[in-house]
Structure 1
Amino acid sequence: MIFIDTILSELLQFFKREGIESHTDEELIRKLDIRQSTFNELFRNRADMVRQVTLFDIEEQKREQVKLLANANSPVEEIMMLLQDGIRKMREINPVYISDMQNNYPEAWGLTMDFVNSNNQHVNADILNRGILQGYFRKDINLQLVTKILLEQFFMMINPMVFPPDRYDLAEVFRSIYLYYVRGICTEVGGKQAEQFFSRHNI
């Protein structure tokens, strides 16, 4: 890992664990154990730092997703693995991180939403299409509509006006939204496979 990637990786972990605004630039410099001059060379300002961390996170998510889906045995398992990974990630992220980005870093939040839109639409549509052809998902589902619903459910989940993070466990919200919906679009064969996956992985 090159130097800048190491720095971005450490910042990403700080942000996800403690939020973006919990530390000043000076505190981050101390935590990173680098010079002020090095920090200034890497980042034009705080917004640029958050933007670079966001782009790094997006590329990491792409790589992780490829590895994750390579271990699936069917489209149902692919959906379940994405669901399980989403639950895990939501549990690991401090809700303050999301609200900090939404409220203070519109460019970074826009990049995140663009990625969620394009990636989820493409990946979910591909998985669902293959699942229909292989008999795991119902043939009568509207592929475009189901893909859109899955995406909008995600946006609803992270909307603090709908699910205030101080009142709701976002990981549990994620689980409640997606698990039951996925069951509903499965055929009998796909549903059995989904149930087996749920019981094996306790999600």
Structure 2
Amino acid sequence: MTFLETILGELLQIFKRDGIESHTDEDLIRILDIRQTTFKELFSSRADMVKQVVLLDIEQQKREQTQLLAKAANPVEEFMLLLQDGIRRIREINPVFIGDMQRYPEAWKMSMEHVSSNNQQVNADILNRGILEGYFRKDINLQVVTKIILEQFFMMINPNIFPPQKYDLSEVFRSIYLYYVRGFCTDTGSKLAEEFFSKNNL
């Protein structure tokens, strides 16, 4: 791992824990224990810093998702592992971070484009294999279902619909996806989902 990647990783943890705007550049320089000249060499602006942090986060998510899905025994378990991981990630993020991110249009756009392209591709692949293997219903429309899954995510992170001070976003995430996934399972898929729920306390 390079020096820059180490710094970006530390910034990512700080932002997810405290939000982006809770610390000034001077605060971050002190927390990171680096020189101001080094900080300015790494980041041309606050927006550039946030953009680089988001790029690192996207790459980490891709690697972790590949490793996670490799553990699954079947498409149902893949969906369940993604659900479980999504709940964990939401719980680890301060809702302020999501609001702060929207102040940086380029970084926010990159993040949302990753969510859109990655989610639709991964979910479509899992659904297609699940249908062929008899875990998911054959009558579902892949394009529509993957679009609904994506839009449900955007709805969840919309503070006008689910204000984070009023709703536990991890519970909202669970409620949205848990019952939706169960809805397109066959009897065989439902049994596997129920087994996963009971073992993992979802």
Deviations 1:18-77 (A, max 9, x none): 000000000000000000000000000100000000000000000000000000000000
The amino acid across from 1:173 in the alignment is V
Deviations 1:142-198 (A, max 9, x none): 011000000000000000000000000000000000000000000000000000001
* Alignment match, 2:32: 32
Deviation of residue 107 (structure 1)?
0.7
* Alignment match, 2:97: 97
User: For the aligned residues, what is the CA RMSD?
Assistant: 0.4
Q: Hey, what's the Cα distance between the residues in 1 that align with 2:2 and 2:49?
A: 17
What is the total number of aligned residue pairs between the two structures?
Answer: 202
* Alignment match, 1:175: 174
Q: How does 1:123-142 map to 2 (within 5 A)?
A: 123-142=122-141
Q: Identity over aligned residues, as a percent?
A: 74
Q: Which runs of 4+ in 1 moved over 2 A?
A: none
Q: Hey, what's the Cα distance between the residues in 1 that align with 2:68 and 2:97?
A: 24
The amino acid across from 2:150 in the alignment is L
Deviation of residue 138 (structure 1)?
0.3
Q: Hey, what's the Cα distance between the residues in 1 that align with 2:105 and 2:199?
A: 40
The amino acid across from 1:33 in the alignment is D
Q: Hey, what's the Cα distance between the residues in 2 that align with 1:184 and 1:105?
A: 37
Q: Hey, what's the Cα distance between the residues in 1 that align with 2:53 and 2:142?
A: 33
Compute the TM-score of the two structures, normalised by the length of structure 2.
1.00
Q: Hey, what's the Cα distance between the residues in 2 that align with 1:29 and 1:138?
A: 53
Q: How does 1:160-171 map to 2 (within 5 A)?
A: 160-171=159-170
Q: Hey, what's the Cα distance between the residues in 1 that align with 2:89 and 2:128?
A: 26
Q: How does 1:1-203 map to 2 (within 5 A)?
A: 1-102=1-102, 104-203=103-202
Q: Hey, what's the Cα distance between the residues in 2 that align with 1:130 and 1:143?
A: 11
* SS of residue paired to 1:113: helix
Deviation of residue 6 (structure 1)?
0.2
Unaligned runs of 5+ in 2: none
Q: Hey, what's the Cα distance between the residues in 2 that align with 1:129 and 1:26?
A: 50
Q: Hey, what's the Cα distance between the residues in 2 that align with 1:89 and 1:18?
A: 15
The amino acid across from 2:125 in the alignment is D
